[in-house]
A and B are shown apart, each in its own frame.
Chain A
Amino acid sequence: MFARVVWLVLRKDLTVEVRSLEIAYTTLFFAVSCVLVFAFALVREGRAPEDGAAGILWIAIAFAGTLALGRAFERERQSETLRALLLAPAARPAIYVGKLLGIVSLLLACEVVLVPLVALLFQAPLFAQPVWLAIVLLAGTIGFAAVGTLFAAMLVRARTRDVLLPVLLYPITVPVIIAGVRATSTLLQPELDLAGIRFWLALLGCFDVVFVTLALWTFEPLMTD
């Protein structure tokens, strides 16, 4: 039943998004603008700063993620459909996981455009280790979205939710962003440093486990009242 509810919520979110493309367009536009601004500011005479690409990629992901989280829950607020989900006899953590997977899917789709753009503008060999990069992006995105989904759901009825979400989210997800940046930087080195990548990936994995576990544990009590 848990997996069924996760699938129902995920399928519903993706159907709504495919039909409107609202979140995809806005987050992508915002993320691409962010990368372009950094490119104009930092790339001089065709030469990009060393190790800049990793940081800019993760800044763009974090900003786009915040926007996606806000819009995804604004949608649930407009017709109070989040209440309808909470009223269903489904395990509330399953609803959380469904929403989380929807956000992760959207961010991964955004990253499919962002990674080549950053690689091109900052002349970064991001595709030198495509499998490792995919794992790093997935782990970092899950960690960021795990906390973000919980906070966005909690703040859905707060009047200042648009301000509060980044204020609460960024300090807590800083370790994920740092680990993501360092893991991506390691991938950009001429020599593949497997030990370094494994270390940062293990750290990202730990953050993911801690954040997802805490969110699953606290989602039900936080959403009742």
Chain B
Amino acid sequence: MSPRLRPGQVDFDDLTVDDISRHFGRRRAVSHITFRVPRGIVLGLLGPNGAGKSTLLAMLATLLRPSGGRIRYGAYDAADQGAALRGAIGVLGHDLFLYPELTALENLEFFAALYGVDAPRNAAALALEQAGLADRALDLVSSFSRGMRQRVALERALIHRPRLLLLDEPFTGLDDASAAALAARFALLKQAGTIVVVATHDLDLAEGMFDHAVFLREGRMLDMIDRPSALRSTYRDVMTRRTTDVGAGFSRLNQ
């Protein structure tokens, strides 16, 4: 399932976050974050509540403008290529972006059509098969469990085959089998060259999924670790580090 370009859509090979900050009034939600993610990489954003993960994802999704710094999608930036760039980004938010009064099939068909996917009804039916929900295609989303909604929402985020996939707490409501299916899906997306950015608290389920992990606290980036293992203990170590210790190892983030 490689990203497929539609007319007017742009494509890119990497995502570069260059010293971005975002302030809400006097509150700094995100402060001087820098990293680069090439194609086929799964990046984890890890941190406690209020660390700035969701704000960072909103900026990557072009929903929020950074107060400082810039985000580059290959050679493009959001200010120049708004709509075309949004067509290459898929977002699964903490809220699921689904209409409860519509059926699963209608929801996916609507978003497929909105993203300009060819034959949106067929694409929606295929996506529901992928989610293991083909037999519930004609049921209203309001009748689904949280886990089932989460699976439909993931298919909604992927239905236009985005180059960049942004996921905020994707494991919420998923049972072990569904979480394992999500991990397998990440592997397929990596093979297809998709850049996947995942913000999560669920370190046990995320174990082994990330190629890189960015650790955030109070809007600041504490560290970025390649191929993190023993995620929970690594997280504890990084989070207990004093702010003055932070900085070592940052130079490689720009490489």
Contacts and interface: CB of A to CB of B under 8 A. Distances in A.
A15 B86 contact: no
Interface string B8-23: 1100000000000000
Contacts of B93: 80, 83
Contact of A88 (B8, B96, B111): B111
B63 A224 contact: yes
Interface string B82-105: 011111010101011111111000
Interface residues of A, number: 24
A5 B99 contact: no
A44 interface: no
A87 B168 CA distance: 15
Interface string A72-86: 000000111101111
A85 B102 contact: no
Contacts of B114: 5, 8, 85, 88, 90
A79 B83 contact: no
B97 A81 contact: yes
A15 B106 contact: yes
A2 to B, nearest CB: 11
Given A86-B63, A89-B86, A15 B102 contact: yes
Given A88-B115, A90-B114, A80 B83 contact: no
A80 B153 CA distance: 12
Contacts of B100: 78-79
A89 B83 CA distance: 4
B99 A79 contact: yes
What does DSSP make chain A's interface, helix, strand, loop or mixed? helix
Contact of B64 (A19, A84, A225): A225
B76 interface: no
A84 B91 CA distance: 8
B179 interface: no
Contact of B98 (A20, A81, A87, A225): A81
A225 B62 CA distance: 9
Contact of A91 (B63, B83, B91, B101): B83
A195 interface: no
A19 B83 contact: no
Nearest to A1: B116
A20 B93 CA distance: 25
B86 A88 contact: yes
Nearest to B79: A224
B113 interface: yes
A16 interface: yes
A12 interface: yes
Given A87-B91, A89-B8, A225-B64, A12 B84 contact: no
B87 to A, nearest CB: 3
B39 interface: no
11 contacts: A4-B113, A15-B106, A16-B102, A19-B102, A79-B100, A81-B97, A88-B115, A89-B85, A89-B115, A90-B83, A225-B63
